Structure 1
Amino acid sequence: MRPQALPIRTLALVLALALPCAAAAGPREDYDAFRAGLIEQASGPTGMYAIQDVAVIAPGASAHLPAGANAAALRWSPGAGGQNDVRVSWRDGRARIDAPELKQAVDLLKAPDQKQVLPGGLSVRATVYEDSIKAWLYNPALVKQRFKGLSFFPYDPKGVIQATFTRKDAPQAVSHLDSRNHTGTMYWIGDVELPLQGKTYTLRAFNKNQDWSKMDHLLLFFTDKTSKKTSYGGGRSLEAHFPAGQPPRSLSLNFNTLYSFLCAHSDYYNCPINLTTYVPVELKYGEKYPPGA
């Protein structure tokens, strides 16, 4: 895996997220990079445990942080607010942030990491979500209060599985409900035939995009016999990457990089609740739950 906005848009649903992993030499190295990247994504100053609030801003609308409030008490309020407030608007494809401390307005979508650091250590980050944007407010001080570490199953070479992918030439839109009671759309891009413990299971593969020329990965959403026991009950995700527009017929899936839906770490994410496939085996790979257990 590598840094991307997808997990925040689909698992937040999502799934910004947004789980950074460096390119590695093999499955074991992928697992090590996966663990390090997920821990960083959870515990960093703009990580999952630093989220203080999120505002969903429709085209033409705004949200603001009231001036004068204690940093720990700041929450988004709808509307443009006043001249002394921190204001974010979504117009003409720009996520504009204005603040008294800024010399000029900044388009968050063009800023480094799509974020702006505010006085007092807070940060605002923007991500595109469906037909709106999300303005994420981060407070690094929350990480010390909330983050208790993450847990993982030990690396197991049996978790590297050769599967077969059959693509759909015309990806099919699938409407889904998420954990914040919003509806969204994912695209069913094909089927993965997965051999597990002597049986073969067929799983739908998804992407947030419907244009094959722009597609460079597929997403699988699972529950299994570890769910609600040693892994997150809501589901876990697996990603497989390929050159844009060129999905291979044969896939090497590293189940050691299964990760929990991001709702396992924050209620501010929008996680799918009707796209998972139940696989009736124990998938003792990847991220465990609860954190720190």
Structure 2
Amino acid sequence: MRSLLPHALLLLSLTCTAAHADPRQDWDGFRAAMIQQASGPTGMYAIQDATVIPAGGAAHLPAAQKPAQTRWAKDAGGKTEVRVSYRGGQALVEGPGLAAVDLLKAKNQQQALPNGLIVRATVYEDSLKAWLYNPALVATRYKGLSFFPYDPKGVIEATFTRKDKPVGLSHLDSRNHTGLMYWIGDVQLPLQGKTYTLRAFNKGQDWNKLDHLLMFVTDKTSKKTSYGGGRVLEAHFPPGQPPKTLALNLNTMYSFLCAHSDYYNCPINLTTFVPVELSYGEKYPPGAK
């Protein structure tokens, strides 16, 4: 999430990764977190708009717009309008009926507005993404989530070979922006009598800080019973201490967030195709074509 416009695969803070003592419990926690991520007041189906604010810039919500029609506009606007500015490392939201608040220090990096909408901020290296949520949208948009049944065969021991010097890879995302992710190593994943190599990625490159890896996967269920753009499998570990053996729970694979909202930026050329059916984790979104 870096030099040009951010790729913004907004990763979920899920318990979906590191195979606890009870992988079935991991799966239960994963589904609960996914449902909350989708259906909450600042969930995927409540997103009304989003905009990228460069360092030193601002955006505002025009005062004349009704809540359901409100969208971000460029620049700071006037004193009668809610505005977010990104300067000096602060994402300051202010406007009528609001005390000035730095969204980056606010609880959950968000602020409720007097008209019932909610603003939230996600900071990148050189810009800020300002999100606008309308909780009323969830009732009409959210149709539930679908998951493959839990399968203990999806709990697999894999091996990880780290790259001592991560390799930066530029990629095109689903919103035609250029992003950068770091290839931090390879995962050797045994499946159905064969072993497949999956590239592992992270947004950062400093091994002293890295505490997880991401694998972007398509397989023979893609575009059929799972999202065609790809799914994500995570593995977490203590900062700077990636293990050589990973206990992966494929039951916790989740769709690229673009399966649920066009406002996300999902990498489209970093996936690894695995030529088997991975009938684990999140299925194709309900109502998707």
Structure 1 length normalisation: TM-score?
A: 0.93
Partner of 2:10: 16
Of residues 74, 78, 81, the one that matches 1:78 is 74
Distance 2:212 2:87 in 1: 30
What is the percent sequence identity of the aligned residues?
A: 73
- TM-aligned CA deviation for residue 292 of structure 1: 6.3
Of residues 228, 242, 247, the one that matches 2:242 is 247
Partner of 2:62: 66
Equivalence map 1:173-188=2 (5 Å): 173-188=168-183
Partner of 2:272: 277
Structure 1: runs of 5 or more not aligned = 1-5, 7-11
Partner of 2:263: 268
Distance 1:18 1:123 in 2: 19
Distance 2:14 2:250 in 1: 16
Distance 1:88 1:28 in 2: 42
- Cα distance per residue 1:78-128 (max 9 Å; x no partner): 01100000000111111111111113x111001100000001221000001
Number of residue pairs aligned between Structure 1 and Structure 2: 282
Structure 2 length normalisation: TM-score?
A: 0.94
Partner of 1:161: 156
Of residues 35, 41, 44, the one that matches 1:39 is 35
Distance 1:48 1:190 in 2: 30
Partner of 1:9: none
Structure 2: runs of 5 or more not aligned = none
Partner of 1:209: 204
Partner of 1:3: none
- TM-aligned CA deviation for residue 29 of structure 1: 0.2
- Cα distance per residue 1:56-98 (max 9 Å; x no partner): 0001111000113210010000011000000001111111111
**What stretches of structure 1 move > 6 A for 4+ residues in a row?**
none
- Cα distance per residue 1:188-237 (max 9 Å; x no partner): 00000111111111111000010111111000000000000000000000
- Paired AA for residue 92 in structure 1: G
- Cα distance per residue 1:253-289 (max 9 Å; x no partner): 1000000000000000000000000000000000000
Distance 2:8 2:29 in 1: 21
Equivalence map 1:97-116=2 (5 Å): 97-103=93-99, 105-116=100-111
- Cα distance per residue 1:137-196 (max 9 Å; x no partner): 000000001000000000000000110000011111111110000011100000001111
Distance 1:292 1:75 in 2: 26
- TM-aligned CA deviation for residue 131 of structure 1: 1.9
- Paired AA for residue 16 in structure 1: L
- TM-aligned CA deviation for residue 13 of structure 1: 3.7
Partner of 1:132: 127
- TM-aligned CA deviation for residue 25 of structure 1: 4.4
Partner of 2:221: 226
- Paired AA for residue 108 in structure 1: L
- Paired AA for residue 37 in structure 2: Q
